[in-house]
Amino acid sequence: MPKKLVAFVIVTLVTLALDQGSKAWAHTLPLSSPSCDTAQMVAQTCGGIPQPVVSGYWDWELAMNPGAAFSSFVGAGFARVALSLVAALAVVWICAVAWRSAAGERTKRVALALVAGGALGNLADRLHYGAVTDFVRWRINEHRWPIFNVADAALLVGAVLLVATTSSRRRMAPSPTEGAPLEA
């Protein structure tokens, strides 16, 4: 393995491990019914009981999300297969981009690794449960944001970091006409 990819692989695996470990813990959170199972949670006929972390602002609450990041696309019947395929193809593409990246593009590879680790974490859940385990609920009293997990957070941070590194690189790069002689 090329030396430049070591950090990419480590960040990807650590992100995946943190995501899967936190989801395993989330499955120990209390449920609304003792007979509540994964299929019922996916169908949203039962769910987790919110456990306040910071009262009125942050709860642990187990949910199974058949949609995409931050509970989007819920209810789309094709979601499991389509999202699994997209995630698998995205991880392959991300690995290719990391492989082709320049040695000095460490931040870009870390950002790609966060996205890859997040995508793999949610893909593992989707393949195992048919849905993604979510458990982080942020809210302000009764206003609730979409529930999410560590993989979703890694995807978001990685994407923002990618945009930031790409846009800062474009600002620093000289324009094609910069330094060119002026024509008369």
Element spanning 53, H or E: strand 51-54
Cβ contact 118:72 at 8 Å:
no
What is the rounded distance in angstroms from the CA atom of residue 16 to the CA atom of residue 103? 24
Tell me which of 19, 59, 125, 134 is the catalytic residue: 134
Identify whether 19 is a catalytic site residue: no
What is the rounded distance in angstroms from the CA atom of residue 162 to the CA atom of residue 167? 8
Identify whether 125 is a catalytic site residue: no
What is the rounded distance in angstroms from the CA atom of residue 98 to the CA atom of residue 2? 11
Tell me which of 19, 59, 125, 152 is the catalytic residue: 152
What is the rounded distance in angstroms from the CA atom of residue 4 to the CA atom of residue 183? 43
Catalytic (active-site) positions: 134, 152
